[in-house]
Structure 1
């Protein structure tokens, strides 16, 4: 799709009813020839709406109304462009752990976790967060500063306890240090305006992870993953997982990754927007939602559920 379509899709399928400010800005950008021309001068992978909008916020630009936003971006485009080219969309949404937990808890314990596209590694700690699935008893440490609520549909195998994690590591082209205040400010700018609950749980997760920072490796997933898998303890079930990472790979690199992870002695959990792994769509009995973005949590390449992009809902695909 072209850039105007990209921003309109972001407005309609992602931020609508979640962030009125971003919906207004995205619709405005989609109809503004001046901004579209500036964005089109960026490499295709850097034209992402959230990357542009987060960069403006990171630089202190206005995001409440389109007119001041448009004029500010045009005046400060050199700075905005430099930030876009320097930074990455590394949302690190811990709410997605609610989508992953039923699969993780169902594997042979204990677990050694490897997250691809780990950002600051916040999703490497699913055992340190507390979960509320509908009105079922809460799962996870009662004193956790992170509480994740998830609406469910279908026979979701909600566990009675969090998984046992004995080792964890992450892989990213640009890993972020939870102890670095400027990098954590960037993560906060990636949370959409008006989503105070997401911001609070991000800050809570940062506090959790700062107490026990993860082992993060800088590198390309196709080149570095096998070496990282080799470091995992042999007595644990090694799980390679990722969420919302594949949109940032070219199709050839994506195919190489899928082939590589299938060849490794690991369990593979993916949680991606459905177009990124089209082979999974053929396994769905019913179609995907037309009016909202849906992720497809999958185990070893087999989809088990549809999920909200931030783990806010989970619909199990009953056998």
Structure 2
């Protein structure tokens, strides 16, 4: 896939209907030969739309007008390039906990949580958020509210799971006490998504009060040591969201083989193409032209979900898969 095609797919499948500004910018980049040439000089993993757009905004690019954005980015390419090489799209979306909660509730408590690709650790607090699924009474009483539309017979728990231990693993853990780090996380929220920005800030405030343990390391080499520290009296859960796109195919295969061999519960929440074994077990069609995540327990897909936890379709009898989200 060419870089232009990648940006058009981002515009069509990820930000369409969610961030008009980003849709316009992504389409603009796809049609700008100057900027495409500069992007193509970057290492392949660094050419992603989210990283370019967030880096330019982080440096002050005008995001409200595509023509001005393209011109500004070309003129300031040296700074944009440096930022893209130094940073990663560590989007730490607490809303994804709304997709994870029903899976966590299926496991025997208490739970010990390990998040792979934890970023700042905001998703390590599923027991501390308040969930609003459709018009049901809120679940939990935390200060951060996560809204989620549902379809199907979602097995929502009567109470939040008991979490007795939590830790995160990341190549570059983010410290929410650092203001520049917080500003970067805010730039990873798409323009126009004020609800996500408000939620991010609230989740950061909660995490600052009781930050989880975050370990710097590679998921294929550092996970065993972190597992050894987990309490033996709890159900150990290794989970991740939107991490696998940043691995090479070989690293992804190695991680999959490792997870199959470990004595843990494995919850994955990745885009549909990322785990072939999960996708192959899906018995209903995916929504067309829309990025869809597949929350799965030990490689068994149990739901379809929005990338930011905004909707959840449980794969149960009697429910019709969504044509779009």
Pair in the same fold by TM > 0.5 = yes
Partner Cα separation in structure 1 for residue 69 and residue 102 of structure 2: 42
Instruction: Find the counterpart in structure 1 of residue 108 from structure 2.
Output: 108
Partner Cα separation in structure 1 for residue 203 and residue 289 of structure 2: 30
Q: Deviations over 1:158-181 (max 9, x none)?
A: 111111011000000000001111
- The 10-residue stretch of structure 1 (237-246 or 131-140) with the greater mean CA deviation from structure 2: 131-140
Q: Deviations over 1:194-235 (max 9, x none)?
A: 000000000000011111111000011000001101100011
Mapped pair 1:80 → 2:88? no
Contact 1:294–1:306 (8 Å) recurs in 2: yes
**Count of aligned positions:** 317
Q: Deviations over 1:102-134 (max 9, x none)?
A: 011111000000000000000000011000111
3-state SS in 2 of match to 1:220: coil
* Offset, 1:193: 0.3
Unaligned runs of 5+ in 2: 318-325
Partner Cα separation in structure 2 for residue 162 and residue 6 of structure 1: 39
Query: What do you get for the CA RMSD once the two structures are aligned?
Result: 0.8
* Offset, 1:263: 1.0
Q: Deviations over 1:18-56 (max 9, x none)?
A: 111100000011111111101111101001101000000
3-state SS in 1 of match to 2:221: helix
Stretches of 4+ aligned residues off by more than 6 angstroms: none
* Offset, 1:17: 0.8
Contact 1:91–1:187 (8 Å) recurs in 2: yes
* Offset, 1:291: 2.3
Partner Cα separation in structure 1 for residue 22 and residue 135 of structure 2: 32
3-state SS in 1 of match to 2:191: coil
Partner Cα separation in structure 1 for residue 202 and residue 157 of structure 2: 23
Partner Cα separation in structure 1 for residue 81 and residue 120 of structure 2: 23
Mapped pair 1:69 → 2:69? yes
Partner Cα separation in structure 1 for residue 143 and residue 290 of structure 2: 29
Q: Residues 33-72 of structure 1 correspond to what in structure 2 (within 5 A)? A: 33-72=33-72
Instruction: Find the counterpart in structure 2 of residue 299 from structure 1.
Output: 297
* Offset, 1:145: 2.6
Q: Residues 143-222 of structure 1 correspond to what in structure 2 (within 5 A)? A: 144-222=142-220
Q: TM-score, normalised by structure 1?
A: 0.98
Mapped pair 1:5 → 2:44? no
